[in-house]
A and B are shown apart, each in its own frame.
Chain A
């Protein structure tokens, strides 16, 4: 669908948190890339490292405790891990917009919404107050907040959760970034507003050629807007595939389990909601074996021995499993020096 130039290329990213209980290996050698105009959906259980991965890209994790242990984050060819604070500041909010997960706490309670939208406009685009204000009103209008220019003077607490999330989106879009990272941006919204936001994002993607990372728990949303999907488990990417392939032909046991948890509207009514049994691992060390094996219905002896690297099973479809579920037979045991 999108084959513009590569905007983002993340290689082998590893993030560790130093805690009193020891190191938490939250993100383990995550690699993915993104082309201009492409929308990458990111799914995975709570705690699988989706937010931490994306915040690490922009150096937004508090350090300590967070540490980027290894890896590269190439944004338009420039490594954000090593480029330095000054450069990073010029990119954040300007070339890359970020929408955070929690709209209730992500806005500063003592400044007006207008001030907070105008900040990046004035800093990055050098707009004067009047022009920044006009643009801020446009942005609020764009994300569907009625009576936008009057509401610029309101404070966050005067907005509902969904409206705050839209304000966050307006801030992220303010400077027309090349890349938008949206962390569960529509979770707090009702279905109609959600549809509006999705429509808006689709438009912007087309008109600006913006690349988008869209984190969500809602597989329905992913099916509707994503080009490709990245499935995360225990800080690792376990499957990466074009959206159609992922839903039609999931190859990783975890992905299959995840898809099975979605209640179908059309199918026969399930007696109870499916859930994946067991708990995700604690991540106290770099995974030496497959992290999903303890919960996996298909686990075999080889799963506890080595951590399988991601490998292509079809064009553009990669899976980190010793098996290939499509054919449901063990793949040859891999050379795991990489894992």
Chain B
């Protein structure tokens, strides 16, 4: 398993390099000019200067290699410096955003907490409610619990989050006034009151996303449970006189979790990607929103870096899913 993991990690390096090149190429070929959104009164010569100052004068491969170096060398060194107070990265060029001229990674670091608290929490809650719902729905297939669960899952999955989001805002913020409709990023949690405020402002966006996630994962859980509940080994367990609880929570659950764990692991990169629409609806300025504004502003370094980070996460969690699969299912051998 360890050698498998290491081999996969090594193999992912060329994969990621190829991905980074493709991203770079696509952004290069895409129409759009970082100075296009600047006032028309700027004379063309100045425009050219600005473009050069952004590093756009250099040929493609130079820019690509510079970006690679910045991403893989300068930025890690910089992070190390910030952590240990050393001075490894002194003077080398970091990746700068076209829009704000500040380092891309600093902006990401600023936005990440919002995304993780809201989207991450929603994912966690979604999984935590989806698993028991999936189990009960499968065990009591076609019961009223299962029927209602199916209905809610269908709604949660098929109704877009911008609709549920706005609906919740109309009901709970506008009419009932229980929760704020806008997420205040500047809120600092330092007391019980501010903590409660934070919980209240998180409630609606988390609810919207958790419903969406839970709808999907509970269906998965249910299908996987149903698959296993009808297997022969379940009958064997019953024939041994094992109680229903052992049959369901030991024999069936352990088997059913295998595909579900994989799906949950594969969904984690999506958490970091943020929930673009929900973040827009509730004005959570997380990573999803950052990506959208960067795309609108032709902020190539930002888009390039964010996209590449998502790619790394996807490759990484694919590996995590495979490793978990191998750990949970003794039939899988990776050597």
Are A and B physically bound partners?
yes
Residues of A in contact with B (beta carbons under 8 Å apart)? 55, 58, 60, 62, 89-94, 98, 100, 102, 105-111, 116, 119-120, 123-124, 155, 157, 168, 171
| Residues of chain A lying within 8 A (CB to CB) of residue B251 | 108, 111
Contact of A109 among B235, B243, B246, B255 (CB under 8 A): B255
Are A107 and B241 CB-contacts (below 8 A) given A155-B331, A157-B331? no
| Residues of chain B lying within 8 A (CB to CB) of residue A109 | 233, 255, 329-331
8 A-B interface contacts by CB (under 8 A): A60-B238, A90-B241, A100-B232, A110-B254, A119-B240, A119-B246, A123-B241, A171-B236
Q: Is B328 an interface residue (CB 8 A)?
A: yes
Q: Is B242 an interface residue (CB 8 A)?
A: yes
CB of B324 to closest CB in A, whole Å: 13
Top 4 closest A-B pairs, CB basis? A93-B241, A93-B240, A92-B241, A105-B232
| Residues of chain B lying within 8 A (CB to CB) of residue A90 | 241
Do the beta carbons of A110 and B328 come within 8 Å of each other?
yes
Between A and B, how many residue pairs show CB distances below 8 Å? 74
Do the beta carbons of A91 and B236 come within 8 Å of each other?
no
Do the beta carbons of B330 and A155 come within 8 Å of each other?
yes
Interface of B is mostly: helix
Residues of B in contact with A (beta carbons under 8 Å apart)? 230-233, 235-243, 246, 251, 254-255, 258, 328-331
Q: Complex formed: what's the CA distance from A155 to B331 in Å? A: 8
Are A120 and B331 CB-contacts (below 8 A) given A106-B233, A107-B233, A109-B255? no
Q: Complex formed: what's the CA distance from A91 to B241 in Å? A: 7
Q: Complex formed: what's the CA distance from A9 to B237 in Å? A: 25
| Residues of chain A lying within 8 A (CB to CB) of residue B328 | 110
Contact of A60 among B230, B239, B243 (CB under 8 A): B239
| Residues of chain A lying within 8 A (CB to CB) of residue B231 | 105
Do the beta carbons of B240 and A171 come within 8 Å of each other?
yes
| Residues of chain B lying within 8 A (CB to CB) of residue A102 | 232
Do the beta carbons of A60 and B254 come within 8 Å of each other?
no
Q: Complex formed: what's the CA distance from A105 to B237 in Å? A: 12
CB of A54 to closest CB in B, whole Å: 10
- The CB with the most chain A CB atoms within 10 A, among B231, B235, B251, is that of B235
Do the beta carbons of B241 and A100 come within 8 Å of each other?
no
Do the beta carbons of B233 and A108 come within 8 Å of each other?
yes
Q: Complex formed: what's the CA distance from A55 to B234 in Å? A: 13
| Residues of chain B lying within 8 A (CB to CB) of residue A157 | 330-331
Q: Complex formed: what's the CA distance from A105 to B235 in Å? A: 10
16 extra interface residue pairs, beta carbon distance < 8 Å, beyond A93-B239, A110-B328, A119-B240: A60-B238, A100-B235, A100-B236, A105-B231, A105-B233, A106-B233, A107-B233, A107-B236, A109-B330, A110-B254, A111-B251, A119-B237, A119-B246, A123-B242, A124-B241, A155-B330
Instruction: With CB as the reference atom, state the residue of chain A lying closest to B331.
Output: A157
Q: Complex formed: what's the CA distance from A94 to B233 in Å? A: 18
| Residues of chain A lying within 8 A (CB to CB) of residue B237 | 108, 119
Do the beta carbons of B240 and A120 come within 8 Å of each other?
yes
Instruction: With CB as the reference atom, state the residue of chain A lying closest to B231.
Output: A105
| Residues of chain B lying within 8 A (CB to CB) of residue A105 | 231-233
Do the beta carbons of A120 and B330 come within 8 Å of each other?
no
Q: Complex formed: what's the CA distance from A119 to B242 in Å? A: 8
CB of A310 to closest CB in B, whole Å: 29
| Residues of chain A lying within 8 A (CB to CB) of residue B329 | 109-110
Q: Complex formed: what's the CA distance from A123 to B245 in Å? A: 13
Contact of B241 among A55, A62, A116, A120 (CB under 8 A): A120
| Residues of chain A lying within 8 A (CB to CB) of residue B235 | 55, 60, 100, 106
| Residues of chain A lying within 8 A (CB to CB) of residue B242 | 89, 93, 119-120, 123
Do the beta carbons of B239 and A100 come within 8 Å of each other?
yes
Instruction: With CB as the reference atom, state the residue of chain B lying closest to A155.
Output: B330
- The CB with the most chain A CB atoms within 10 A, among B232, B239, B331, is that of B239
Are A123 and B240 CB-contacts (below 8 A) given A62-B230, A107-B233, A109-B233? yes
Are A92 and B255 CB-contacts (below 8 A) given A105-B233, A155-B330? no
